[in-house]
Structure 1
Amino acid sequence: MANLGTIKSAFGKWVLGVALLAAAPASAAKPNADCTYHGFKLYGDVQIVQSFPDIKVQIVNSFPDLKVKFVGSFPDSCGKWRFVDSFPDLKVQYVDSFPDLKIQIVDSFPGIP
C-alpha cells in the first residue's frame, strides 16, 4: 500500500499539470511583434464575415491582444482597419467566446499594447 506522502506528491504534480494545461490556451492568442497572427496582417482592409473568417475576434474593454482604430484611409500600420465589402486583406468574425484575438476599439494609439 502506498504511503500518504507518495499520494500527496502525485496529487500535487497532477494539480500542477492541470493548471499548466488550463493556462496554455490563454497564452496562445498573441499577435507577433511584426503585427501578424498566423500569417495574417493585423492591419489593412478588413471585411466582417459570418463564416469562414481568417481570425475570430472578441471586443473587450480591457486587456486586449490588439488595439484597433477604424480609419477611412491609409490603414498602413499595426491596428488600423478600414472596412471593405470586397478584396479584403483580412476577414474577421466577431464572437462572444473562444476568440483567436481580443481587440479593444480605440481612437488613438492603435497596435499591440
Structure 2
Amino acid sequence: MKQLIPILLTMVLTVGLSAGEVGSDCTFKGKKLAGKVQFVTSFPDFKVQIVDSFPDLKVKKVTSFPSDCGQWQEVTSFPDFKVQIVTSFPDFKVKYVDSFPGVP
C-alpha cells in the first residue's frame, strides 16, 4: 500500500500539469475556438501558452470574418472569448501560423 501512494500521487500531478485537449470540432469547454478574441491579464475564459511545436490548436490572426476554426480577430471590446497568455499551466497550447489554422 505504501508503494501505491507515490505512484498514484505522481499520476495525479502529471495529469494536472498537462494542457487540455481541443476537441476535433474546434471547441474547448463548449466554446468554439474561432472568432473575436480579447487578450486580458485577468479573468480569462482560457489560459493559452504560445509554442513552436506540438500545439493543441494552430491559430491564424485575421482582420475580419474570423469564422473558421483557429481564426482569431483581436478586439478590445465585445469578444467571443477572452484569452490570457501564460508561460505555464495553460488550458491549451497554440502556435501562430500564416496558413492552415485549426486542430492539427
**TM superposition score normalised by structure 1:** 0.81
Q: Structure 1: how far apart are the matches of 2:94 and 2:33? A: 11
CA RMSD of aligned residues (A): 1.7
In the alignment, which residue of structure 1 is the partner of 2:41?
Answer: 50
2:87 corresponds to which of 71, 96, 100? 96
Cα deviation for residue 24 of structure 1 reads 1.7
Cα deviation for residue 74 of structure 1 reads 1.6
1:26-85 CA-partner distances (Å, limit 9, x unpaired): 556011221111122111001111111110101011111111000111211110000111
Q: Structure 1: how far apart are the matches of 2:22 and 2:72? A: 15
Identity value in percent: 55
Q: Structure 1: how far apart are the matches of 2:78 and 2:34? A: 14
Deviation larger for 23-32 or 68-77 = 23-32
**Runs of 5+ unmatched residues, structure 2:** none
Paired residues, what number?
A: 104
Q: Structure 2: how far apart are the matches of 1:28 and 1:93? A: 14
Q: Tell which structure's C-alpha radius of gyration is larger.
A: 1
Q: Structure 2: how far apart are the matches of 1:14 and 1:86? A: 48
What SS does the corresponding residue of 1:29 show, helix, strand or coil? coil
**TM superposition score normalised by structure 2:** 0.88
